[in-house]
Amino acid sequence: DIVMTQSPDSLAVSLGERATINCKSSQSVLYSSNNKNYLAWYQQKPGQPPKLLIYWASARDSGVPDRFSGSGSGTDFTLTISSLQAEDVAVYYCQQYSTILRTFGQGTKVEIK
Amino acid sequence: EVQLVESGGGLVQPGRSLRLSCTASGFTFADYTMSWVRQAPGKGLEWVGFVRSEPYGGTTEYAASVKGRFTISRDNSKSVAYLQMNSLKTEDTAVYYCTRDGGRGFDSWGQGALVTVSS
């Protein structure tokens, strides 16, 4: 199985400041045949199901604010919130879908400093 | 609008069985792979398994933690996916989410069904 490891486990950021979450996979999730990284990011607010934010490592899902961006390739990925808003307080998960056995990172909790 | 609604959760004793249903609407159900993802209380997300779309034969895959105990199936005529859980263990206690596995991650999620395994 591909192991996904996020860092940090939690972070506190001031309103309006940048938040950066890292995700590392134990093997590459890049398919050379189509040059796509099979990596997604989700946001989960308390008491709610997760919501897809980013797919193909950098494509924003419909309706996702442009302050959210994804980057990276191969085994190293980053989710950036460019200007943290109060409504962004949540747990964020990365997930690979390059193999049949889908796997998630352990989650990163984002709070307001 | 895509909607996924889980039902069938509840309290069950260890060793017993339970079946969850996921009723879908707002899209052509047969064209999509459907996955189940669970979340134990206070923990992260764990993929349970999926049933492929009709064009891909409706075959199934499972996480090692549930293989041989859980079975996923679908009824495309009713737009329903099922999760049959047998030989339940206390560690299966979780909220179970039905998700649409759209080839770009899990692009739609239900609200979840709580399954509590306890004597």
Min Cα–Cα distance to chain A from B61, Å: 7
Please give the mean pLDDT across all residues of chain B. 97
Note whether A50 contacts B107, CB cutoff 8 Å. no
At A110 the pLDDT is 98
Note whether A55 contacts B112, CB cutoff 8 Å. no
Contact B32, B102 (CB under 8 A): yes
At B40 the pLDDT is 98
Which residue, chain included where needed, has tokens 């199936």? B73
Q: Tens digit of pLDDT for each residue in B20-36?
A: 999 999 999 999 999 99
Residues of B in contact with A1 (CB under 8 A): 64
| Average pLDDT per consecutive 10 residues, chain B (119 residues; last block may be shorter) | 97 98 98 98 98 94 98 97 98 98 95 98
Least Cα distance to B23 among B102, B78, B95 occurs for: B78
- The helix or strand, by DSSP H or E, that contains position A93, with its residue range, turns out to be strand A90-96
Residues of B in contact with A93 (CB under 8 A): 44-45
Q: How far apart are CA A96 and CA A83, in angstroms?
A: 26
Task: Write phi, then psi, for B103 (nearest 5 degrees).
Answer: 85, 0
Sheet holding B70-75, edge to edge: B3-7, B18-25, B80-85, B70-75
Give, in order, the Cα–Cα distances in Å from A87 to each of A13, A22, A107.
Answer: 13, 20, 18
Q: Tens digit of pLDDT for each residue in A29-65?
A: 999 999 999 999 999 999 999 999 999 999 999 999 9
Task: Write phi, then psi, for A47 (nearest 5 degrees).
Answer: 75, 10
- Tell me, yes or no, if A60 comes closer than 8 A to chain B by beta carbon: no
Please give the mean pLDDT across all residues of chain A. 97
Q: Which amino acid is at B71?
A: T
Least Cα distance to A53 among A17, A18, A27, A91 occurs for: A91
Which residue, chain included where needed, has tokens 């109060």? A86
- Tell me, yes or no, if B27 comes closer than 8 A to chain A by beta carbon: no
Q: How far apart are CA B108 and CA B32, in angstroms?
A: 11
Partnered with residue A81 across adjacent β-strands are A19, A68
